[in-house]
Amino acid sequence: MRPDALELGRGVPAALLRVVILLAGAAIVVVPLQEGITIGTLFLLLPAVLASAYAPASPAPAAVIVVVAVLLALAGEDPLRAEVLVMIPLVHLFHVACGLAGVLPASGRVHLRALRSTALRFLLVQAVTAAVVVLVALLPTGRTHPVVEVLGLAGLAGVVLVVVWRQRVK
Amino acid sequence: MTTGAPTRIREPKAVAWFLARRAVRLQGWRRTDALVRALVCGAGLMLVGLVMHRVELALMGLPLVVGLLLTKTPSGTPSVTSARGPDTVDAGLDAVVGVTVKPGEGAVLSALRMPLSTTPGVGPVHLLPAADGEVRTRLAWNAWGQGIYLRPDYLFASHDGLHVFGPVVGVAARHTVLPPIEPLVPGPLPPRAAGLVGAHRSTRAGDGMELRDIRPFQPGDRLRRIDWRVTLRTSAAVGGALVPQALHVRERHAEADADLILALDTRLDVAREVAEWNAHPVGTDVRQGGSLDLGVRAAASIAAAYLRNGDRVGLIDLGHPRGGVPAGAGHRQLQRIRHQLVHTARRVEGSGDPVLNHAQVPPGATVVVLSPFLDDQLVDVTVRLTRRGRVVLAVDLMPAELAADRTTPWGAAVVSIVRAEHAMRLRAMAGHGVVVVPWGHDGAGGQVAAILRRTRGRRR
């Protein structure tokens, strides 16, 4: 036996990941309701959240992300209002929790040290996002020059190409 | 009429390309829904946000895209290997079981199926960090029987489950957990008629140590057996002359071995819940705490105690006539009986006629019948064996308490009838000279040994 071997403990039930999905989903549902969006939230968002908790490795979490983004965009004009700032980490948490729950049966066990790198990475991504939010808040509002818009679209296209290139399976 | 080579249907290139791509996606590292979600939703929200001048859409898609940019595609072929363990272990012991994990480059999470000491079987899937090394767990072999104790199914994933490798079904490791042995104090058994070697005092004269009688010398007696003190006293009584009539010899008991035959009823496996008597237990061959479990434990314990005493012990499978073990002695015989007990307990086939005839039992052997005695046929064959002069002990494996089936209003009545019939069978056996003793969860080994001791006295 190697001395650096990993001793297997009991861990916590994998259903805890589904609980995290439900909690994040509940918060995602509550925010649009606070803004007065009732029909879209209850008839589109809530079923998608429940479906995501039941089947995390399905298109349901994507539907949650898209629907909540559209609902929030339609609800108000201020892009940096509190509801949006709260929703950014919530949607990310929902996405990560669904990704982890998708690789593990609901009857499995989760060992918390396995989530350490995921938690650090979550914080890193949120720090980068917060920096971009601060940058957006500092930029002047008003009409954007067409050249800047074209450059933005070209940059986004470049990012997408880089992502696709990096994520190709070797 | 035309002849020629069989025509080969060629797939269109597009179809072949599609099938090849699909085959590639099913093996090795592959993308998951989470990666597609992050790419489509993240980049899509940012694109729509830029086009529609809605910054909040772009901000909500930003973490997903950043996460993708920070993720490196894993490579290599992960593997999980386990060392071969022992094929046979004793119940009640524990051991450390380990597997060696090689996650490859870029894997962050591993979902590994490993057993837990608290639950039987191959265990749940554990989400662990994907580190190169060994993962081990401590197992306790509480339940006897054959089964798979380790099957390390595995799946490796990159950050946030964006890529996965697997799931791959691991190589199953099987073993046999032998029934436990409770310490019993064996009593003396009725010695068998054949053979004059062993640990038990025979009723016949022989070369043992124990004094049997002092009698006049007869032709054929060995000279070293002459008791000179008695001989001189006798010759003095007849005048002092050492005549042949005055010679006396010391006669000793012979020492003989004994045969013990354990007849186990493997046709039935009943536990406390009457409603589950016809149901097959889930995940195991035998109900824990059921009659067959008790019977196997009792048979193993009795066999171990008497084999340790130097006796010959055999096993009869009442449900399968060819499944027994002939009487024998020694440690190897104990292992043979324990293996056979595990094997026979896997074939519970419901009620059938029990097979226990005179030819199966060696002459002079003591028979211990272990059964819940739920049918009259077994009582018949047990009584018939007793009437042929065999010493028979019936060990009752019926649960002390029975829980009625709550799904039917007849549940309580059924329990009453079963109880009454069972008591009647036990009384019938006792009336024909069969000693009946219950074997509870707390064991009754001492009671069985004491009864066997009494039966020896009765037989003499």
Tens digits of residue pLDDT in A64-82: 999 999 999 888 888 888 9
Contact between chains at A7 and B72 (C-beta distance less than 8 A): no
Reported as a single tens digit per residue, the pLDDT across B48-94 is 998 888 889 999 999 999 999 888 889 889 999 988 888 888 888 88
**A163 contacts in chain B (CB < 8 Å):** 39, 43, 65, 68-69
CATH number for the region B259-459 comes to: 3.40.50
Q: Which ipTM score applies to this complex?
A: 0.91
How many CB atoms within 10 Å of residue B211?
Answer: 11
Contact between chains at A1 and B96 (C-beta distance less than 8 A): yes
pLDDT for B201 equals 59
| Token digits of residue A21 | 């999905």
Q: Which CATH class is domain B79-178?
A: mainly beta
Domain interval for residue A47: 12-141
Among residues of chain A, what percentage have pLDDT more than 90? 56
pLDDT for B430 equals 92
Spatial separation of the C-alpha atoms in residues A68 and A42, rounded to whole Å: 11
- Ordered alpha helix ranges (H), B10-148: 13-25, 33-37, 44-52, 55-70
Contact between chains at B60 and A84 (C-beta distance less than 8 A): yes
Contact between chains at B39 and A110 (C-beta distance less than 8 A): no
Spatial separation of the C-alpha atoms in residues A91 and B64, rounded to whole Å: 9
**B104 contacts in chain A (CB < 8 Å):** none
pLDDT for B40 equals 93
Residue with tokens 């980068």: A128
* Probe site for chain B from A7, A103, A117, A135 (most B CB atoms < 10 A): A103
Least confident among A25-39, A145-159, B391-405, B432-446: B432-446
Contact between chains at A69 and B31 (C-beta distance less than 8 A): no
Residue A40 forms part of a structural domain? yes
**B118 contacts in chain A (CB < 8 Å):** 10
The pLDDT mean for chain A works out to 88
**CA proximity to A21, closest of A50, A57, A42:** A50
Residue A156 forms part of a structural domain? no
* Probe site for chain B from A6, A94, A136 (most B CB atoms < 10 A): A6
pLDDT for B2 equals 43
Judged against a pLDDT cut of 70, whether residue A146 lies above it is answered with yes
Residue A23 forms part of a structural domain? yes
SS3 for B150?
A: strand
B129 touches chain A (CB under 8 A): yes
Classify B118 in phi/psi space as left (phi over 0), alpha (psi -120 to 50) or beta: alpha
β-strand partners of B137? B97
Backbone angles phi, psi at B127, to 5 degrees: -90, 115
**A88 contacts in chain B (CB < 8 Å):** 59-60, 62-63
The alpha carbon of residue A109 is apart from the nearest alpha carbon of chain B, in Å, by 5
Residue A7 forms part of a structural domain? no
Cα angle value B262/B191/B440 (rounded, 5°): 35
B51 touches chain A (CB under 8 A): yes
- Measured between CA atoms, the residue of chain B closest to residue A164 is B39
Residuewise pLDDT in 10s, chain B (460 residues): 444 455 566 778 888 888 877 776 677 888 899 999 999 999 999 999 988 888 899 999 999 999 998 888 898 899 999 888 888 888 888 888 889 999 988 899 999 999 887 777 888 999 999 988 899 888 888 788 888 889 999 999 999 999 999 899 999 888 888 988 888 766 666 555 455 455 565 555 666 677 778 888 887 788 888 889 999 888 888 787 777 788 888 887 666 567 889 999 988 888 888 888 877 776 666 778 888 888 999 999 999 988 887 788 999 998 888 888 998 888 899 999 999 999 887 777 666 788 887 788 888 888 999 999 999 999 999 999 888 888 889 999 998 888 888 888 998 999 999 999 999 999 999 999 888 888 865 555 666 766 666 665 544 3
So where are chain B's domains? 28-70, 79-178, 202-256, 259-459
**A4 contacts in chain B (CB < 8 Å):** 133-134
**B36 contacts in chain A (CB < 8 Å):** 62
Judged against a pLDDT cut of 90, whether residue A99 lies above it is answered with yes
SS3 letters for chain B?
CCCCCCCCCCCCHHHHHHHHHHHHHCCCEEECHHHHHHHHHHHHHHHHHHHHCCHHHHHHHHHHHHHHHHCCCCECCCEEEECCCCCEEECCCEEEEEEEEECCECCCEEEEECCCCCCCCCCCEEEEECCCEEEEEEEECCCCEEEEEECCCEEEECHHHCEEEEEECCCCEEEEEECCCCCCCCCCCCCCCCCCCCCEEEEEEEEEEEEEEEEECCCCCCHHHECHHHHHHHHHHCCCCCCHHHCEEEEEEEEECCEEEEEECCCCCCCCEHHHCCCCCCCCCCCCCCHHHHHHHHHHHHHHHHHHCCCEEEEEECCCHHHCEEEECCHHHHHHHHHHHHHHCCCCCCCCCCCCCHHHCCCCCEEEEEECCCCHHHHHHHHHHHHCCCEEEEEECCCCCCECCCCCCCHHHHHHHHHHHHHHHHHHHHHCCCEEEECCCCCCHHHHHHHHHHHHHHHC
Spatial separation of the C-alpha atoms in residues B140 and B136, rounded to whole Å: 13
**B62 contacts in chain A (CB < 8 Å):** 88, 128-129, 132
pLDDT for B1 equals 40
**B39 contacts in chain A (CB < 8 Å):** 160, 163-164, 167
Residue scoring higher pLDDT (A46 or B438): A46
Classify B100 in phi/psi space as left (phi over 0), alpha (psi -120 to 50) or beta: beta
- Ordered alpha helix ranges (H), B54-172: 55-70
pLDDT for B89 equals 87
Which residue among B66, B72, B75 sits closest to A129, beta carbon to beta carbon? B66
Residue A78 forms part of a structural domain? yes
B137 touches chain A (CB under 8 A): yes
Spatial separation of the C-alpha atoms in residues B323 and B266, rounded to whole Å: 10
Reported as a single tens digit per residue, the pLDDT across B428-443 is 999 998 888 888 655 5
- B284 close to B139: Cβ distance less than 8 angstroms: no
User: H-helix or E-strand containing A38?
Assistant: none
- B180 close to B189: Cβ distance less than 8 angstroms: no
pLDDT for B126 equals 94
- Measured between CA atoms, the residue of chain A closest to residue B115 is A8
Reported as a single tens digit per residue, the pLDDT across B133-190 is 899 888 888 788 888 889 999 999 999 999 999 899 999 888 888 988 888 766 666 5
Which residue among B128, B155, B163 sits closest to A6, beta carbon to beta carbon? B128
- B376 close to B350: Cβ distance less than 8 angstroms: no
**B126 contacts in chain A (CB < 8 Å):** 8, 11, 108-111
Spatial separation of the C-alpha atoms in residues B339 and B347, rounded to whole Å: 14
* Probe site for chain A from B31, B81, B105, B126 (most A CB atoms < 10 A): B126
B146 touches chain A (CB under 8 A): no
SS3 content of chain A, % helix, strand, coil (to 5): 70, 5, 25
Number of domains in chain A: 1
Residue A154 forms part of a structural domain? no
Contact between chains at A7 and B40 (C-beta distance less than 8 A): no
B135 touches chain A (CB under 8 A): yes
